[in-house]
Amino acid sequence: MPNHLSPLGIIHTIISILAVIAAFIALAREGKIGPRSGPGKWYIVLTILSCLTSFGIMRTGHFTPAHMLSVLVLLILPVGIYARSIWKTGAPGAKIETIAMTLTLFLSFIPAVTETLTRLPISGPIAGNQDAAVIKMTLLVVAVIFGLGVVYQLRKLRKPVQA
């Protein structure tokens, strides 16, 4: 089977998968992607690298909506990282941090789902193009999971920590 990824595409994919793994480790351990935790720091670094490497990948030969999502993620990450410093009163900063960090993960899933379903399996991809119904349905499921996840995380922030 031929490999349809460029060397940069392979590096980008590996970095992106590692970023998602770091995010899931943070979510499993803490219930959120905390920018000061070990997995959270790895998620941030790997996500920045993933976004930056995406700019060198232009399958269509020009800037795409996926590149715009990388720009958006790079703009939202600092909001999540510095939210608690900016909003020193606690609750707003914690909420903004949680929403922003989770939003960056959700936004990263949009091109991930599209690229995966239009490329795999190599012998006959699941989706014929980025507008395929299976992609739209998968993204809807991801959006619902994101929404439920954020609601869960925000509710968890309201509960007092029991010693």
Residues 59, 76 contacting (CB under 8 angstroms):
no
For range 143-152, the mean pLDDT: 96
Element (H, E) at 3: none
pLDDT of residue 1: 45
Collect all residues with Cβ–Cβ distance below 8 Å to 83 and sequence separation of at least 6.
92, 93, 94, 96, 97, 100
Omega of the bond prior to 160 within 30 degrees of 0, cis? Answer: no
pLDDT of residue 163: 46
Residues 20, 105 contacting (CB under 8 angstroms):
yes
Tens of pLDDT, residue by residue over 31-88, are 999 999 999 999 999 999 999 999 998 766 788 889 999 999 999 999 999 998 887 7
pLDDT of residue 90: 63
Burial letters 43-67, b for 16+ CB under 10 A, else e: bbebbbbbbebbeebeeeeeebebb
pTM for the complete prediction?
0.89
Residues 97, 91 contacting (CB under 8 angstroms):
no
pLDDT of residue 5: 83
